[in-house]
Amino acid sequence: MASSSALSRLSNLHNHLRPLDSNNQARSSLIEGLVKFSPEVYQALSSGRAVVALESTIISHGMPYPQNLETAKQVEEIVRKNGAVPATIAILDGVPCVGLSAEQLERLATLGTRAQKTARRDIAYVVAGRRNGATTVSATMFFASTVGIPVFVTGGIGGVHRHGEETMDVSSDLTELGKTPVAVVSAGVKSILDIPKTLEYLETQGVCVVGYKTDEFPAFFTDTSGCKAPCRLDTPEECARLIDATTKLKLGNGVLIAVPIPKEQSASGSKIESAIQKALKEAREKNIIGSAETPFLLARVNELTGGASLASNIALVKNNALVGSKIAVALARLREHSSKGELLPIQ
């Protein structure tokens, strides 16, 4: 653990960036006693450098070993090469960790699905039982917000499942975006979900949804969904100003920045959709529901497409890391100049 005096300095820095209200006051106590920082992440946060939060479910549940470990290392390296510090978040032996060592990444990758898939609702259970937990989007957002990391990169967020109007199966990622001030950089929502209903739900939650260099909301494996993006931004600097404005206005919600998968790496939309429909039918026949459904569908779709969907998944995560890092660096630069009373030119 970092020393208590060091943690106090970090807490004071966080309070300076986001003045405490009653909810944040309760959260600050988590910094004091439960969260463990890697030295790299701690130093970056203390000095105001750009930090990018990364989830860990993609490591434990998203792909097989050793491909999951290789991808995790490559994504972290992309973040570093673009001027930011990666903070992969997980719970190990009941301790929430912000930033993982090489040994911890290896451990999580080899644990695979034996690490509990941990959403917000599961955090206390995993911590209290000293279990190992791989954080989903909602849990990663919670911890990132708690320690003052404003930018989080993932593959795709969860959403409203197909036939969600009957099953009420709606990902906690959406409600987390509605109440947690973190910018999430993703390739839209997974195309196994109901994208139009997901966008409607995000609107209800008051979440600003941005198409990055696109007018059309991306669909994870492909760069088109048939749904118009609510707004469009074309540079990291524009995204940074949006995030900063959201914070200063104290809106209290997150921002979703949807980045299309690069066209050259986009899988065939019709091929993926056909596989999705077959996998959904199999899931219903096997009564696979709830948190088990998405991992099953992604794995089955990968099988049905001969590995094409997994290759696309890895490509889009890396691209999101590239974009997210540039946004985090632009935001850190903006806030540094703002603290000095300087104005950056609009680019």
Catalogue the active-site residues: 55, 190
Question: If you search the block for the tokens 């930018």, which residue do you land on?
Answer: 151
CA of residue 166 relative to chain centroid, distance? 27
The total number of residues shown for the chain amounts to 347
CB proximity list for 271: less than 8 A, separation 6 or greater: 305, 308
Which of 176, 159, 197, 59 has the alpha carbon at shortest distance from 122? 176
CA of residue 217 relative to chain centroid, distance? 17
